[in-house]
Amino acid sequence: MHVIVLGAGIIGISTAWHLLQQGHDVTVVDRQPDAALETSFANGAQISVSFCEPWANAGAPWKVAKWLLRDDSPLLFRPKLDPHQWRWGLSFLGQCNDAAFERNVRQLVALGRYSHESLKALVADTGIEYQRLERGILHFFSSAADFEAGAQGAELMRRYGVDRRVLGRDEVLAVEPALRAFGPNIHGGTFTPSDESGDAQVFTQKLAALCRQRGATFLYETAVDGIDQAGGHISGVRVRDVHTGLVRTLVGDQYVAAMGSYTAPLLRRLGLWLNIYPAKGYSATMKLKRPGDASVVSLLDDTRKIAISRLGDTIRIAGTAELAGYDTGLDGATARRRCQALVDRYEALFPGVADTSEPNFWTGLRPSTPTNIPYIGRSRIGNLWLNAGHGTLGWTHGAGSGQALAELMSGLRPALSFGFCGEALPAARPFVPVARPSAQQS
Ligand SMILES: Cc1cc2nc3c(=O)[nH]c(=O)nc-3n(C[C@H](O)[C@H](O)[C@H](O)COP(=O)(O)OP(=O)(O)OC[C@H]3O[C@@H](n4cnc5c(N)ncnc54)[C@H](O)[C@@H]3O)c2cc1C
């Protein structure tokens, strides 16, 4: 069958790859001139299977309220006259309890594991290189109270079979000696040795090139303006050449919507109400002056909720979230402050290691759902499939989300316990909460 994939981020390209593997004809449409030029461009680079807790937990409302007035807070909610923002916010509050947290973590761990296997197989098959480092993720804490909560969170994750180890300060420094200058401020950490890091943009663009070699058609600089429906089916996709303005209709047998945060407004016009809202994040990428003194283990700084990942001779610092609509500006006062805060924090942690004079700043919109669980599966419209809403974990879940959807579309059953669209989640063991771990972020 001929499948039209809308969106060439990590999710769309991974879906295209796995559809080709299943023997389908694939056309990929994106408004950008290449793959991975929006949210998959400069993220935190972490393949974070074992640090996957959603923002929504029983302690989150209190924290968000406390942060409401602080411009530099890790999670900033800017109330707008936007019913979609309020719907998202209310659903988020509905997830802030132990039972929902447990349900969500269970699915995120399952998808993460499946996706990690999928990624490893894909890399083994293709030999794609993308600054991959299989050195684990180290979460370090600068206060005793946060470390205690982090240690309890590790205990919770171990119940799901996640190997998250609790480390004292010396052990943290043994795992990543580059932290030694900041060492006296560190109270402890948690470490997940099986996690990894790598450049999502490089990976996605190389995979897109391989898709093209295997026969996929790419329509770049082509905006999706609308989707036409007739008789309960999608009859075509209206696309526009972004240079000439020429409009035409593309027709396939099946369609996949993988346009990140933009999936929700487009599908609303078809009466499909996906609860995806953009959460703006930032990153700074800097050249290293002293590569030998820079970290190689991917890091999570609990105080600022930022990820720090080594990508060759550069370092990437990423994090913070603003729920403030579809703004991708870097020029406003808040954006400038948030970007500079990433650089300042890096300098405090690793003095003199990076060239802070010319950071590459970037912002992207995480396609966030209140649960952090993506929509993967068939929509109410028979030949329209969804792969969107991957929030903080789209890079981690990219390979597996593509594989799972391609399998579903091919009539196969993906090997993971997950609530695909329209399906109930298989029953779980009763849950006994042990802690209210702080949300991970990057
Ligand atoms: C600061 C930050 C740090 C992050 N860190 C991590 C991390 O460390 N690990 C992790 O796993 N995840 C991380 N993420 C999340 C991850 O980057 C996203 O979940 C992921 O990139 C989403 O991929 P996507 O393919 O759904 O969206 P995108 O990459 O945005 O792709 C969607 C594509 O659709 C196209 N598109 C949209 N609308 C249209 C239209 N109308 N017509 C044509 N084309 C259209 C866009 O051009 C784009 O190419 C981070 C995100 C941010 C912002």
Q: How does DSSP classify residue 133? A: B
Tens digit of each residue's pLDDT (9 = 90 or more) over 367-392: 999 999 999 999 999 999 999 999 99
Cα 364 to averaged position of ligand 1 atoms, centre (Å): 7
Q: Is the pLDDT of residue 150 over 60?
A: yes
Least confident of 38-47, 153-162, 199-208: 153-162
In the chain, the percentage of residues whose pLDDT exceeds 90 is: 87
Report the pLDDT value the prediction gives residue 426, as an integer from 0 to 100.
60
The candidate with the shortest Cα–Cα distance to 277, out of 105, 92, 73, is 92
**Domains in the chain: boundaries:** 2-409
Rounded to two decimals, the pTM is 0.96
392 lines ligand 1 (CB under 6 A): yes
Cα 177 to averaged position of ligand 1 atoms, centre (Å): 32
Q: What is the average pLDDT across 262-284?
A: 97
Q: How far is CA 84 from the centre of its chain?
A: 21
| H or E segment to which residue 317 belongs | strand 314-323
As its CATH architecture, domain 2-409 has 3-Layer(bba) Sandwich (3.50)
377 lines ligand 1 (CB under 6 A): no
Sheet of 375-378, strands arranged across? 217-219, 25-29, 2-6, 254-257, 384-388, 375-378
The sign of the CA dihedral 300, 301, 304, 308 is negative
440 lines ligand 1 (CB under 6 A): no
Nearest-atom index, ligand 1, CA of 40: 21
Report the pLDDT value the prediction gives residue 62, as an integer from 0 to 100.
87
Report the pLDDT value the prediction gives residue 425, as an integer from 0 to 100.
66
Q: Tokens 């499946």 — which residue?
A: 114
Q: What is the average pLDDT across 131-150?
A: 96
The candidate with the shortest Cα–Cα distance to 234, out of 262, 259, 254, 263, is 254
The sign of the CA dihedral 138, 162, 129, 205 is negative
Q: What is the mean pLDDT of the chain?
A: 94
Tens digit of each residue's pLDDT (9 = 90 or more) over 24-44: 999 999 999 999 999 999 999
Cα 432 to averaged position of ligand 1 atoms, centre (Å): 34
**Lookup: tokens for 27:** 């056309």
Q: What is the average pLDDT across 255-270?
A: 97
Report the pLDDT value the prediction gives residue 434, as an integer from 0 to 100.
41
Contacts of 111 (CB under 8 A, 6+ apart): 373, 374, 397, 400, 401, 404, 416, 418
More confident residue, 426 or 203: 203
Nearest-atom index, ligand 1, CA of 239: 42
Testing ligand 1's pocket by substitution, the residue of 38, 108, 387 carrying the most ligand atoms inside 8 A of its CB is 38
Report the pLDDT value the prediction gives residue 440, as an integer from 0 to 100.
55
Collapsed DSSP state (helix, strand, coil) of residue 217 = strand
- In this structure, the residue with its CA closest to atom 6 of ligand 1 is 44
Q: Is the pLDDT of residue 186 over 50?
A: yes
Main-chain phi, psi angles of 153, to 5 degrees = -60, -35
Report the pLDDT value the prediction gives residue 436, as an integer from 0 to 100.
43
Q: Is the pLDDT of residue 359 over 90?
A: yes
- In this structure, the residue with its CA closest to atom 25 of ligand 1 is 9
Contacts of 344 (CB under 8 A, 6+ apart): none
Report the pLDDT value the prediction gives residue 427, as an integer from 0 to 100.
59
Report the pLDDT value the prediction gives residue 160, as an integer from 0 to 100.
87
Main-chain phi, psi angles of 140, to 5 degrees = -115, 150
Give the integer Cα–Cα distance in Å for 92 and 342.
Answer: 27
Report the pLDDT value the prediction gives residue 433, as an integer from 0 to 100.
42
Report the pLDDT value the prediction gives residue 58, as an integer from 0 to 100.
92
The candidate with the shortest Cα–Cα distance to 137, out of 259, 50, 59, 77, is 50
Contacts of 412 (CB under 8 A, 6+ apart): none
Give the integer Cα–Cα distance in Å for 406 and 414.
Answer: 9
Report the pLDDT value the prediction gives residue 430, as an integer from 0 to 100.
44
Rg (CA), the chain: 21
12 lines ligand 1 (CB under 6 A): yes
HSE-up of 308 (CA within 13 Å, CB side)? Answer: 29
Give the integer Cα–Cα distance in Å for 127 and 273.
Answer: 39
Q: Is the pLDDT of residue 435 over 80?
A: no
- In this structure, the residue with its CA closest to atom 15 of ligand 1 is 392
- CB neighbourhood size of 221 (10 A): 15
Testing ligand 1's pocket by substitution, the residue of 259, 299, 373, 393 carrying the most ligand atoms inside 8 A of its CB is 259
Testing ligand 1's pocket by substitution, the residue of 14, 15, 43 carrying the most ligand atoms inside 8 A of its CB is 43
287-326 residues labelled b (16+ CB within 10 A) or e (exposed)? bbeeeebbbebbbbbbebbbbbbbbeebbbbbbbbbbbbe
Tens digit of each residue's pLDDT (9 = 90 or more) over 51-65: 999 999 998 898 888
Cα 86 to averaged position of ligand 1 atoms, centre (Å): 22
Contacts of 171 (CB under 8 A, 6+ apart): 189, 191
- In this structure, the residue with its CA closest to atom 26 of ligand 1 is 260
Give residue 432's pLDDT band: very low, low, confident or very high (50, 70, 90): very low
364 lines ligand 1 (CB under 6 A): yes
46 lines ligand 1 (CB under 6 A): yes
Main-chain phi, psi angles of 22, to 5 degrees = -85, 0
**Lookup: tokens for 396:** 């981690």
Tens digit of each residue's pLDDT (9 = 90 or more) over 70-127: 777 788 888 888 999 999 999 999 999 999 999 999 999 999 999 999 999 999 999 9
Give the integer Cα–Cα distance in Å for 390 and 261.
Answer: 9
- In this structure, the residue with its CA closest to atom 3 of ligand 1 is 43
Least confident of 19-28, 56-65, 182-191, 242-251: 56-65
201 lines ligand 1 (CB under 6 A): no
Q: What is the average pLDDT across 330-352?
A: 95
Tens digit of each residue's pLDDT (9 = 90 or more) over 210-230: 999 999 999 999 999 999 999
